[in-house]
Structure formats: C-alpha cells, structure tokens
Amino acid sequence: MIADGGELALVDVREELIFSQSHLLLARSVPLSRFELNFPALVPRRATRIVLCDDDDGLAVQAATVLSRNGYSNVQVLAGGIAAWAAAGFELFSGVNVPSKAFGEYIEHVEDTPNITAPELERLIRDGADLVVLDSRPFDEYSRVSIPTATNVPGAELVLRAREIAPSPATIVVVNCAGRTRSIIGAQSLINAGLPNKVMALRNGTMGWSLAGFTCDSGKNRRAPAASAKTLEWAQQAAWRVAQACGVKRIDRAAVEQWRKDETRTLYLFDVRDPGEYEAGHVLGTRSAPGGQLVQATDQYIGTLGARIVLVDEAEVRAAMTGSWLRQMGFADVFVLAENGSETGWPPAPMLEVDSPGLDAAINAAALSEFLARDAATVIDLSLSRNYLHKHIPGAWFAIRTRLARALERIPLRGTLVLSSEDGTLARLAVAEAASLTDKPVRYLSGGNSAWHAAGQAFSAEAKMADDAVDQWRKPYERAGDVKAAMQDYLAWEVDLLPRIARDGSLQFGRFKPQLPREAR
C-alpha cells in the first residue's frame, strides 16, 4: 500500500510518548484518547484508505469502530500491531516528526549547507561583526529562548523578509532554530533563493549554544519588519524561480472549487502565512499551517499520503518556498493559490462524535465549586499532561481518557466524579466511558478549565498523577533530569536518521536545483 502510489492514511493510535519509542516511519500519531478531536482535520475524506496501528492491544479496533460510526468506509487494522511489522523484517523508528527531521539531514548532506558553530558565532557577535541572526521558529518558541541579538523570522518568512533585515550583501546571515532541521532548511531557503549574502545555519541551534556553555536570551520581542515593495518584488521573483524548479504550480480559485467537489481525492488547503495574518482574513476552508512548521512537522498536518496540497498566500513567497520543500520531500501534487479571503478568526475544528456524548451530564463551574466546598466531588482532568501540570482545578487528578480504568484504581473517589479538560469537549466525550467503570454518578464540567477560569475560580499547580504522562513526547529541554545529556542524545538521533531512512526505503526525497541569478553566483 505504501508503495503503490495511491492515497493512504497510516495512523498510530497509541499515546504520543509510546508512539515516539517505536513506530512505522510514515505513521501519523493520533492517540485514541483524543481521536475524535484530531483525526478529521488530518484525514478529512471519508473514503480514504486507512490503516490503523497499535500494540495489538485493541486500541486500533476501537478507533476503527469510531471511524465506521462517522462514515469512514475503507478502514483496516495492521494485524499483530507494530511488533508484527518488525517481525516481518521492516524498520521501526523512534522520535517524532521523523520524515521532516530526516529530510533536514538529507538536505544538509546533498547541498552541503554551510554552518557555523556556537563558539564561532559567539566570537563574531562579541567582536561586533556585520551579521544578523534570524530565528526561524514560531514567535512563542523564540520568545522562550533565543540566541543573543536574534530577530524572529519564522521559516517561511525568511525569503520574504531577510533582505529587509540585511540589505547589504556584506552582512553575514545566520539562521537558527532549537536544533537542526529549521536551521538547515531556513539557511538553504535563502541560498536557493539567491540571497547574495553569506548564509549559514547555526549548528545545533539554541541547544548547541547552551551545550557550548553560552546563555540564551529569554522574553525577547524582536520581529522582522514588513517587506518593502522592492524587497517583495525580489522575493516573489526568487521564490517563484525556486518553486518552478521544484515542480510547484499555480492554481486559481475555480480549480480549487472543482477539487473541493472531487470525492476521489483528498484536498488539503493550507494558509502558510503568519497565524496573525490568517486570523485577520483567510480563504474559507483553509487551515492555518505556517510554512516553516508545515515542513518541520508534515506528519502533524498531512495525514493522507498521495493527497493534493494547495498552499495559500496572496504574496506567493511563503507558499512558493514551502511548496518547493514539500515537493522535494516527495509530495507530488503541490500548488500555490495567490489569494486572500474575507473569513476572519479561527473556525471551529471538525470533530468526530461518539455514541453517548453526555449532553445531559453537564455541570457548570459554580455548581462544581459548591460540590468541592463540601467534599462531594472528585475531579479528573483529561487535559494534555503539559497543560495539566501548568495549572488545573485544585485537587484534580491527571488521567488519560483511554487509560481511565487503571487511573481509577489509584483515585479515592468521593461523591460525584466530574471530568474536565481544556475546553470541556474531551470530558464530554468521555462521560459514558467513565460511567461504565464506576458506580458513582459521572458529570463533566461544561466549558472545562477555560470556563472555570472565566468564572473567576482559582487554579492549582499541585500535581496528583493517577497515570504516567505518556500522552506527550517532551522536547529535550522540557525533560526532567540531565537536560544537557537529553540535548546531546536528541542531536545525535537527528544525525543518525539518514542511514535508517535508506534502509526503510519508503521515503524518496528529491533534489531540485534552481538557476541562481547572476548576483548570487
């Protein structure tokens, strides 16, 4: 199926941390615990050929039942789970976003992307060299930790804005991220576009900076300026030259509308601009997918192999550059729609439904507060563990929806069992499941933790873990224990991906070389 060229969604329904320890290369992680929330955007077409994976523990069968109930008509389960895949002699991979991470290593290898070490960059900064450091991550990541002097220019924005930041060809341009992939792809984007400056990737990003003994900044707010008319003209010409070399094509709204009606092919419509621009106005039906992140984590956006992909950006630059990378990653049908739309805000995410949604089991924040005041309720929070550990309703226990049975063995239940989650949606979906596991009455907090906060109620950070936090993979700098060792292990894992990808054989990266303008040769 993987090799036949047809559409295929290969979906692993185990929890993300378990998935990260061992999985099929092209599998997308959609844990059963949040399946109804995350699956429909990832695999929107109901007739898509779908194969579900698990540890041969019944999770995939449960997911198949949910999909069948919601109109998905071509669903199969991998017999024997991932252990059977390994037993048949095929490769399994650790980590997350593996195809994108491996692609970054491939590009550095075939393009010999120039790089600079942290000590070399620190010396240039200290000496006042003519250079700019461009952080290619989303703003929230940049704000948390950044290289001193760095300006935030998310990956897809680099070709659009770099010349505005570094108008002199004599200025050295260094691109960084947290590790390797976005540094490499960002630097090579500028090189492919023909930026006349000397361009380098910061080897190992902010992790490499920290491992070298240097201190990162925090809380910075340096953003790239808007592109002038002259810069925009250069960027459009440069980006489209790259896109054409990679086989990306332009498309108009009429063709998009025809594809929307085509029930035989999956269509992804991604707005690759900055999320703020998307919120201010976008084409109806598009999903916000900033271009740098789309390349960095394709498996979180594109669930169906062989689908059509339309990238929307009225300036074309970000869509053209993003499309060039997707084509080289092996996505065959990639198009650019140079339009904007009038829909504003954030449209509601599509969601699957369960048999018993629990609509009659709602409780509001005031009622729950009263229950807790007289010790008449036990709260279980089904939020992601990262969100739970940050803040939650006082006294609430952390649990994972699909592992409630084991969690309930650890929780001394008193009074009514009340489920909560970030916005209450997941808690509502889990009511019937929880009710089947206990003789206590089960309710859910309408609006979840957001409603609790809106009602002026206090939060707590005191953790009561009824289960291990296997629901999320943690970045190296988020892990407990020896953070530097975690960083070193992570960077070594990235570098070691290429030979394993070659052994697997199911990913075929390509290389397209645009003709550079004379000034950049």
Query: Is residue 107 domain-shared with residue 216, that is, in the same domain?
Result: yes
Query: Is residue 290 domain-shared with residue 249, that is, in the same domain?
Result: yes
- CA dist 176 and 196 (Å) reads 19
Residue where a domain terminates, one of 337, 371, 398: 337
In a domain, 508, yes or no: no
Query: Is residue 218 domain-shared with residue 110, that is, in the same domain?
Result: yes
- CA dist 337 and 315 (Å) reads 10
- CA dist 9 and 303 (Å) reads 6
Q: What's 73's domain CATH number?
A: 3.40.250.10
pLDDT of residue 401: 98
In a domain, 61, yes or no: yes
Contact partners, residue 158, CB within 8 Å, separation at least 6: 134, 136, 175, 186, 189, 190, 321
Query: Is residue 78 domain-shared with residue 162, that is, in the same domain?
Result: no
- CA dist 521 and 517 (Å) reads 7
pLDDT of residue 360: 77
pTM of the model: 0.95
Query: Residue 346 phi/psi, 5° resolution?
Result: -120, 110
Residue where a domain terminates, one of 96, 130, 161: 96
Helical spans, DSSP H, in 136-290: 139-144, 158-165, 181-193, 205-211, 229-245, 253-260, 275-280
- CA dist 205 and 210 (Å) reads 9
Query: Is residue 278 domain-shared with residue 322, that is, in the same domain?
Result: yes
Q: Which residues of the chain have pLDDT under 70?
A: 356-359, 514-521
In a domain, 520, yes or no: no
In a domain, 462, yes or no: no
Query: Is residue 141 domain-shared with residue 209, that is, in the same domain?
Result: yes
pLDDT of residue 353: 87
Query: Is residue 363 domain-shared with residue 278, that is, in the same domain?
Result: no
Q: In the chain, how many domains are there?
A: 4
- CA dihedral defined by 349, 280, 137, 317, rounded to 10 degrees? 110
The answer to whether 106 touches 510, Cβ cutoff 8 Å, is: no
In a domain, 254, yes or no: yes
In a domain, 386, yes or no: yes
pLDDT of residue 359: 62
Q: Provide the angle, in degrees to the nearest 10, between the axes of the packed helices 158-165 and 229-245.
A: 140
Range of the domain at 84: 9-96
